[in-house]
Structure 1
Amino acid sequence: MPLSQPTATPPELVAELRREVGAALVEQKRRYASSGTSLGGDDERQLAGALITETVRSYAARQLAECSRVVPEGVQADLSRAVWAAMFQADRLQALLDDPEVENVNIIGCDTTFVKYADGRKVRGPHVAESDDELVELVRRLGTWVGLSSRPWDITNPFLRLRLPDGSRLAAIGWVCDRPTVSIRRNRHPRIRLDDLVELGTCSRQVAAFLSASVRARLTSAIAGDQGVGKTTLLRSMIREIPADERIFTIEASLELDVAAMGAHDDVVALEARRSYGDEWGEITLADLVRETLIQDASRVIVGECRGPEIIALLNATLGGSGGSLTTIHAKTATGVFNRIASFAVQSEERLSAETAHMLAADALELVVFLRSVRDPRTGLPRRVVHEIRQVDGFDRVVQSSALFTFDPATMQAEPTDAELTCATQLADFGYHHYSFNGAGSGWRR
């Protein structure tokens, strides 16, 4: 079944055909169930694809018989794509998600859409539904079949976060605002590598070499920065540097990293937190999942984004033997990461003091990689860059750290400082020689 939605299919017709296919699919599933057969997700989609083709052909036959109107094969193919998108993708949103230049899609009600592009443009987009109720139904439908568990979106659960099939992040708010509001952040680089980031201007070849060696040397790193500066993209590229034979656990509020799909690792377990919706299943927090990895023989524990007490569980897991952990965290500055960790610790079940949290961070964390969006003077466009890299030096009432790389406006890159690299010997074992780096890349390019 095609994976992209056309732009010129009548929404009313698509909705009608979707309902017809949906009814047929429910009946077919009922028949399978009555015979003792259960359909898996892939089987259901294959059956739906066949039903969509059959339904569209029946529609074309009716048009010919009742209206003497021929529905060309190309139009039938467009209708099939649109119905598929309505059932298993993001309906009219899919055309925007399929555009490689789209970065963010922000929606306020059915008829107000703003699209941000990679070059910095922000333009009004098309209507995404015929009514606010239809928009709510679209988001609810997505919430029922993406992720590891169904996620309701209603007056008692007004906030929804999930990962779309293409890796984009969707966040929706309803019932506490005038109109349903949806924000989608596209994942434009799902299989990116560090050398790709060099080509994009995100980091220099030396920074890429340093980060690659730090991953293979099993240094625990926090990737920090403000919203939308590329933290998850950098995290993905660093995950690619983990040796292929390691056992990786990813822990996320909503599945997004999709490490297995990168193709570099086979032994990957993706864990997803679960909110309690007042049902029998109960809540599973990120911290719960981090603790569980301690008895799962995890080589690496990767938390997609630390926004609370899970950072304490991750640091404890690191001290317990899961070295080389990676995570992302929101922070305004590189040094601000440590106070951010302390603020989470105060709110955790353990109720750690800020000083104890700093001590824990100093013991477990080794690097902070800070990203920022800066304006490129040559193009006038924003560019996401590795702005600073700090090493943790120790503890003296608070975390002590020093800058290894800092941003130089002249080169638009983070350049090495004069600070002593305490892990220089470790990194040299993996081909990175900090004090004699010549840019040839022979030490890290594989």
Structure 2
Amino acid sequence: MEDSLCRSSCGGEEMKAAGTMEKRELVHLFVTVFLSSFSIFLVFPAITDVTVAAVCPSRESCSLAIYLTGFQQAIIGLGTVVMNPVIGNLSDLYGRKALLTFPLTLSIIPLAILAFSRETNFFYAFFVLRTLTAMTCEGSVNCLALAYIADNISEKERVSTFGILAGCTSASFVCGTLVARILPTSSTFQVAALASMMAAVYMRIFLKETRLPDHGDSTLSQPILKGSEPVPDRITEDDDYTPKTKIAFKKMPSAGDLFRLLRSSKTLSQAGIISFFQSLAEGGMQVTVMYFLKARFQFDKNQFSDIMLLVGIAGAISQMILIPMLAPKIREEKMLSFGLLLSCISVPYAATVFSSFGLLAQPTIHSIASKQVGPTEQGKAQGCMAGISSFANIVSPLVFSPLTALFLSKDAPLNFPGFSIMCLGLATVIALIQSTMIRASPPISSHSFA
């Protein structure tokens, strides 16, 4: 009996130690995400001025710059809608750290070009390489970070930890915006390139590879999709959408594979719809609001920084403090609706502090999706959500770039310069309506955590 008690006690201590080690690894993940996001957000306030100066010198507004930005975003979205699910799937096979190395390294190249020179020729070289690298990299760091967390955190704590991850991104946004406010434009890209290098080096040195799930077969020699053999999956209170099949992907999931994964759970399908419309609104903000403010109010880098700083601080607070506080008390579906409601109220005004609380929505969507799949499919699920967001980023500039350029021009059919911003609000309203109908079913995962 004493031996059994000793084994039980020692086993409990080992489990606690393992849990502590796993949570310690998350700190290294958060630092990596912070540095990577910092390098992106640092150049964001300056890129509008740099683009207009390179494409249309001596002009405050330039339709060509708007169309170029929209075209770039659409092409990037086209690449990431394919690559994010593939990278997420490969991370299930080869590990999160191995796949994180790829986007973190590639993202250094375009920043280094503008760090060297911002002349027109160098800008176009940056534009091309940024487009090509972002087709592979954009969104993949966050996708892999979410899967890494799902590997190491229990389902009960997952939404709070996803919120902390999103809060780290918001904190990097705040720090990047503050530094951009202080630095001259000539130094902004140099510091961003250095931060991007530090993210890749830090990750390779300090982050430990997550344990790979046991697929139970030789995945490298199997086809992309095993098949759809009926297997006992889970029983939910909502009998009308209990999954009947378990989708097992291999290296290169096709669009059909992703549709099968979405159809395996009504909740997952609803989360995908919400993610699409919310990403549509967010993508539209990127190609609309900056040029709207520059054309109508002659905003420059410093004023852009002030606005983004205000929103970023409130966003970091809401994600790192508000989500962990609300998660144990409020169901995820209600938290999602709450975040989308505040987004609907604030999108038409673009720069209000309330818009930051709309950032509650994304961590909640990812948490809901994470709980609908098993431990061997976390990369696939997060890659699928990232692919949906990327598809929205294709549609968004195709719709909002010409709309913004039209209503800011002298040939506008109506004297309504903010018409495209109103449309962004309507997209968020659609996501809000869908969120009121979502019912997060019991999780499919049977994975146990320390």
Query: Shorter-chain TM-score category?
Result: under 0.3
| Higher relative contact order (Cα pairs below 8 Å, separated by 6+ residues) | 2
Higher strand share: 1
Taking structure 1 as the reference length, the TM-score comes to: 0.25
Structure with a larger share of its residues in helix: 2
TM-score normalised by L of structure 2: 0.25
Structure number with larger C-alpha Rg: 1
